[in-house]
Amino acid sequence: MPRSHVERHRTRRIGWLRAAVLGANDGILSTASLVVGVAAAETTRGAVLVAGVAGLVAGAMSMAAGEYVSVSSQADTERADVARERRELETDPAGEREELRGIYVSRGLDPDLAGRVADQLMAGDALAAHARDELGIIETLAARPVQAALTSAATFASGASVPILAAALVPARSLGLTVSAVSLVCLAVLGGLAAGAGGAGVARGVARVTLWGAFAMAITAAVGRLFGTIL
């Protein structure tokens, strides 16, 4: 009895993985930079924590709104394209069949075989065939605004809680340095996990997120110290 062959492709993870990684990275980096910048201005721990919590709430809401609007726009475009294909299938099925056949010919099938494939697909779910092969819309990769918004908000808040907890627990004299170190470690771990889940090189994922994180925190700390001195 032949064994079934089941493949698990990483493209199925793209929707939630992108939103989750973006949210967590942004949560850690933006909140850590905010905390470090405020701490560099030599303010009290209370002011640092208030700034961090405010950044968490504002950032989570901003991420949710931004993802929802962005992905909703993508979903609207997909629905409009599918509706147009539905109308064209109703008014000109022969032309749509030829369009589908031409797509398969361009992908390497001979014209006769491409025609037979197009006929079979048109006899089944013609709209799904055109959505997939003409428009590139696949169910597993379709835009899901609510999922993207909730994922981004939740992961941002989770990431932002790391520098806030560090700021609340460490001695005040080493707050900025400790928050930076803890946040960079978390960013490195997250970058490695995301790269591994997506099938990319782990070392490259760790390096790029850590370097950008260190740069952002250094700039913010410098700005905080400058304005703290002036004011």
Residues 6+ apart with CB under 8 A from 82: 127, 131, 135, 137
Contacts by 146-149 with C-beta closer than 8 Å and gap 24+? Answer: 146/68, 147/15, 147/16, 147/19, 148/15, 148/16, 148/19, 148/67, 148/68, 148/70, 148/71, 149/63, 149/64, 149/65, 149/67, 149/68, 149/71
What pLDDT does residue 31 have? 92
- Give the residue-averaged pLDDT of 51-79: 88
In whole angstroms, what is the distance from residue 206 CA to residue 200 CA?
Answer: 11
- 39 in a domain, yes or no? yes
Check pLDDT > 60 for residue 141.
no
In whole angstroms, what is the distance from residue 180 CA to residue 13 CA?
Answer: 30
- 21 in a domain, yes or no? yes
In whole angstroms, what is the distance from residue 114 CA to residue 203 CA?
Answer: 44
- What value, to the nearest 5°, has the Cα angle with vertex 162 and ends 180 and 186? 65
- 101 in a domain, yes or no? yes
Q: How confident is the model at residue 197 (pLDDT cuts 50, 70, 90)?
A: low
In whole angstroms, what is the distance from residue 55 CA to residue 47 CA?
Answer: 12
- What value, to the nearest 5°, has the Cα angle with vertex 17 and ends 54 and 130? 125
- Chain centre distance of CA 78: 19
Check pLDDT > 80 for residue 65.
yes
- 86 in a domain, yes or no? yes
Contact 56, 31 (CB under 8 A): yes
Structure-block tokens of residue 218 = 């250094």
Please tell me the pTM assigned to this model.
0.69
- 3 in a domain, yes or no? no
**Domain limits for position 17:** 11-230
Q: How confident is the model at residue 157 (pLDDT cuts 50, 70, 90)?
A: very high
In whole angstroms, what is the distance from residue 131 CA to residue 103 CA?
Answer: 12
Report the domain count for the chain.
1
- 107 in a domain, yes or no? yes
In whole angstroms, what is the distance from residue 21 CA to residue 84 CA?
Answer: 34
* Residue range 205-221, pLDDT digits in tens: 788 888 888 888 888 88
In whole angstroms, what is the distance from residue 176 CA to residue 113 CA?
Answer: 66
Check pLDDT > 80 for residue 110.
yes
- 36 in a domain, yes or no? yes
- 143 in a domain, yes or no? yes
Check pLDDT > 60 for residue 231.
no
